[in-house]
């Protein structure tokens, strides 16, 4: 269809504008994700066109009442926008504001959240009345430069410090019988993350949302999970990575967390080191591992720096009150 072709052409131009070194998501993957109904999240995508070409997009999303975290997040809407460089400063971004305010009113949202890493984005979000609430470090590790002796040493040292703890590895997909346990542990760990000044609700994972994520976002990928289990059977930490078939040379570090009661024993290092060894074994073509961390997450940032992760992008998340958007 001509509409899809125009949108994919825009995506390629945006990629060159925004992240020329990142792998491009294939057209069929994007179409499958956008076409698939989402029971847990409301999605809206608005495009700007000029003479048949797409030159900008604005997206917005919010939890639906079916989402397990709806009650504490119902006042929040997330979104973002991008206009190609030649079409900027022509009022395209401003033209989307009435529609965005209307979406917020229909969804009952009172706070809009968006992030940026570029100067025009910072300027626009401040002009909207946005307040910086969260900083994020986006980093990459070049596995060709990694000190693998140090990685093995981290594993040995953690095993010695926690003789009653064992690591469990799940390759490609978590088995169905582990979904409930994983979701419960993930929910507990996610809500220990530093959120800095963000207005946020509870993050809730369930077996149903995990299955939906596998069907929507993780199609055509390998999802590897390491969990640390204590002698009493409880899960004390976890880390997971995602490898998309269409991203040669890249592996995405997803979440790493250790329960507060188990911190101070090197479990975070152990989990990260064990996963790196696993990635090296099953995806030997990997060049880069990517990760994102809160700017205030000193312990995880220290682990990443020791491994050799290099900062390649700093992003700031802003939040804007609906009243401020309405005035604009």
Residue 302: which of 255, 266, 327, 326 has the closest Cα? 266
- Contact at 8 Å (CB) between 168 and 236? no
pLDDT by residue (tens digit) across 74-106? Answer: 999 999 999 999 999 999 999 999 999 999 999
Low-confidence stretches of the chain (pLDDT < 50) are none
Q: Which domains does the chain have, with CATH numbers?
A: 2-109 (3.40.630.30), 138-315 (3.40.630.30)
Q: Which are the contacts of 157, defined by CB distance < 8 A and separation ≥ 6?
A: 266, 269
Distances (CA, A) of 152 to 110, 145, 148, 157, 276: 49, 15, 6, 9, 10
Residue-level pLDDT at 266: 94
User: Can you tell me the distance from the alpha carbon of 1 to that of 8, in angstroms, rounded to the nearest whole number?
Assistant: 11
pTM score: 0.93
Sole residue written with tokens 């994983």: 182
Residue 241: which of 268, 214, 222, 227 has the closest Cα? 222
pLDDT by residue (tens digit) across 272-290? Answer: 999 999 999 999 999 999 9
Residue-level pLDDT at 219: 79
């Amino acid at each position: 269809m001509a509409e899809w072709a125009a949108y994919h052409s825009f995506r390629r131009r945006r990629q060159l504008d925004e992240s020329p070194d990142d792998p491009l998501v294939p057209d069929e993957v994007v179409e499958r994700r956008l076409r698939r109904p989402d029971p847990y999240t409301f999605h809206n995508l608005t495009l700007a066109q000029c003479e048949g070409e797409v030159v900008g997009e604005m997206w917005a999303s919010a939890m639906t009442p079916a989402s397990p975290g709806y009650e504490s997040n119902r006042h929040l809407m997330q979104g973002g926008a991008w206009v190609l460089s030649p079409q900027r400063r022509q009022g395209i971004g401003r033209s989307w504001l009435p529609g965005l305010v209307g979406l917020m009113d229909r969804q009952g949202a009172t706070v809009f959240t968006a992030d940026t890493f570029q100067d025009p984005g910072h300027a626009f979000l401040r002009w909207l009345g946005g307040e910086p609430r969260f900083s994020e470090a986006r980093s990459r590790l070049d596995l060709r430069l990694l000190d693998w002796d140090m990685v093995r040493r981290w594993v040995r040292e953690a095993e010695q410090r926690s003789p009653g703890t064992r690591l469990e590895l799940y390759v490609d997909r978590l088995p169905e019988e582990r979904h409930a346990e994983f979701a419960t542990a993930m929910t507990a760990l996610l809500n220990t993350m530093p959120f800095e000044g963000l207005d946020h609700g509870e993050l809730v994972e369930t077996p149903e949302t995990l299955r939906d994520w596998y069907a929507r976002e993780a199609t055509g990928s390998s999802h590897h999970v390491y969990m640390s289990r204590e002698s009493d059977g409880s899960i004390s930490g976890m880390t997971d990575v995602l490898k998309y078939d269409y991203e040669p040379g890249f592996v995405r570090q997803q979440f790493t967390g250790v329960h507060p009661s188990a911190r101070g024993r090197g479990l975070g290092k152990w989990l990260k080191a064990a996963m790196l060894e696993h990635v090296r074994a099953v995806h030997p073509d990997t060049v880069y591992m990517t990760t994102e961390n809160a700017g205030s997450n000193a312990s995880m940032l220290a682990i990443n720096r020791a491994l050799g992760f290099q900062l390649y992008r700093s992003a700031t998340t802003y939040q804007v009150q609906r009243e401020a958007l309405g005035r604009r």
